[in-house]
Amino acid sequence: MTKPIIFLQKKFREEFTEKIQSIAPDYQIKNTLTEEDFAAVEISVGWAEKFEDQLLATQKLKWVQSISAGVDYLPLDKFSEQDILLSNGSGIHALSISEHIIGVLLGYYRGLNEAVKKQGRNEWAQKSIHYDQLAGKNLLVVGTGHIGQQLSKSIHSLGVNVFGINTTGHSVEGFAETYSIKNMAKIVPEMDIVVGILPGTHETYHIFNSDIFEKMKKTAVFVNVGRGDTVHTKELITALEEKHFAFAALDVFEEEPLPKESPLWEFDNVLITPHISGMTIDFQNKFMKIFLSNLKSYVSSKELTVNQVEVKRGY
């Protein structure tokens, strides 16, 4: 009988394929598949749409370890029907994204973005540069998962007061207060900074819309590093035109790459970054900590220990 296959949809260093083999000696490890291989894949690391039909055809697939934190691009309904286990890469990018967020906030508050633009014109613009202080600000983290917790920890130590939003409003260590997502509009007027770190689900679709933007302080900052479609882009553009708040730093968009003709590129008070907040050095080490831990428990008991996603809920 053919050995079941662990299909690595991404190349990993040899040290890691060796570790995988030693933990799971009864499996074949493959980076590329022949036609007949597909029917033997039991575990897929990563997910590409082009292989979807073949991987789901024979009902042999038991576990998908996603590389990303977000899993909204996966066929969750089919995973649910076939009882496929799912785990994600949540946590790997937490430090990078936290550093990105602190960077964009200081870039705004300390006038650094303006300085970059003025440097391009050899312009010494000391008097006109906007400056403010990050310490002392109230920051609302919308999404108190791995990334939100890392951000909270780091930015609290810079003197920022950190509040959180999650589904139920349950308290989370490191947050001064937490509120349920349905109460978000009530707390937004007290915040200097609103940071979106939400996964893409039915509940979070367009959750950042004019209702929220119009309640923000005129001096407030909006940062989005979650999913692009958590933001109602048209209403965001209107809010920026009407100056409902002061500055936006956007790393994710409903359409990516952000189309050349999007008005978002043109705002002086918007920083566009090309979905780079999660870019992470030392990625393989960080990812393998999750996958190898899950692989050990999967091999022994068909269970996952880290980052399991409830397929029906989507996070």
Q: What sign results for the dihedral spanned by CA atoms 19, 24, 26, 27?
A: negative
Least distance from C-beta 72 to a second copy, angstroms? 19
Binding range to a second copy, per CB under 8 A, among 92-100, 181-189, 235-243, 307-315: 92-100
Measured between alpha carbons, how far is 32 from 309 in angstroms, rounded to an integer?
26
Least distance from C-beta 302 to a second copy, angstroms? 35
Core vs surface per residue 234-259: b (16+ CB within 10 A) or e = ebbeebbeeebbbbbbbbbbbeeebe
Number of helical H runs and strand E runs in the chain: 10, 12
Least distance from C-beta 198 to a second copy, angstroms? 21
| CB-CB contact of 3 with 39 (8 Å) | no
| CB-CB contact of 196 with 209 (8 Å) | no
Binding range to a second copy, per CB under 8 A, among 21-29, 218-226, 268-276, 287-295: 268-276
φ and ψ of 140, to 5 deg: -105, 120
- 24 burial class (0-12, 13-18, 19+ CB within 10 angstroms)? buried
Instruction: By CB under 8 A, tell whether 219 contacts a second copy.
Output: no
Least distance from C-beta 38 to a second copy, angstroms? 30
- How would you classify the pairing of strands 221-224 and 177-180? unpaired
Based on CB atoms, which residue is closest to a second copy, 86 or 101?
101
Q: Hey, what are 174's tokens?
A: 């490191």
Based on CB atoms, which residue is closest to a second copy, 57 or 135?
135
Pick from 6, 8, 134, 248 the residue near a second copy by CB under 8 A.
Answer: 134
Least distance from C-beta 12 to a second copy, angstroms? 20
Based on CB atoms, which residue is closest to a second copy, 277 or 294?
277
Interface of this chain with a second copy, residues 100 to 129, rule: CB under 8 A = 100, 102-104, 106-107, 109-113, 115-120, 122, 124-126, 129
φ and ψ of 81, to 5 deg: -55, -40
DSSP letter (8 states) at residue 9: S
Measured between alpha carbons, how far is 186 from 311 in angstroms, rounded to an integer?
31
Question: Using only C-alpha atoms, what is the Rg of the chain?
Answer: 22
Q: What sign results for the dihedral spanned by CA atoms 77, 81, 84, 87?
A: positive
Instruction: By CB under 8 A, tell whether 159 contacts a second copy.
Output: yes
Least distance from C-beta 187 to a second copy, angstroms? 24
- Residues in the interface with a second copy (CB under 8 A) total 50
Least distance from C-beta 137 to a second copy, angstroms? 11
Based on CB atoms, which residue is closest to a second copy, 72 or 132?
132
Measured between alpha carbons, how far is 44 from 298 in angstroms, rounded to an integer?
13
Least distance from C-beta 193 to a second copy, angstroms? 14
Interface of this chain with a second copy, residues 270 to 289, rule: CB under 8 A = 271-277, 279-282
Instruction: By CB under 8 A, tell whether 237 contacts a second copy.
Output: no
Pick from 95, 207, 246, 309 the residue near a second copy by CB under 8 A.
Answer: 95
Based on CB atoms, which residue is closest to a second copy, 52 or 159?
159
| Contact residues: a second copy, CB under 8 A | 95-96, 99-100, 102-104, 106-107, 109-113, 115-120, 122, 124-126, 129, 131-135, 154, 157-159, 256-258, 260, 265, 271-277, 279-282
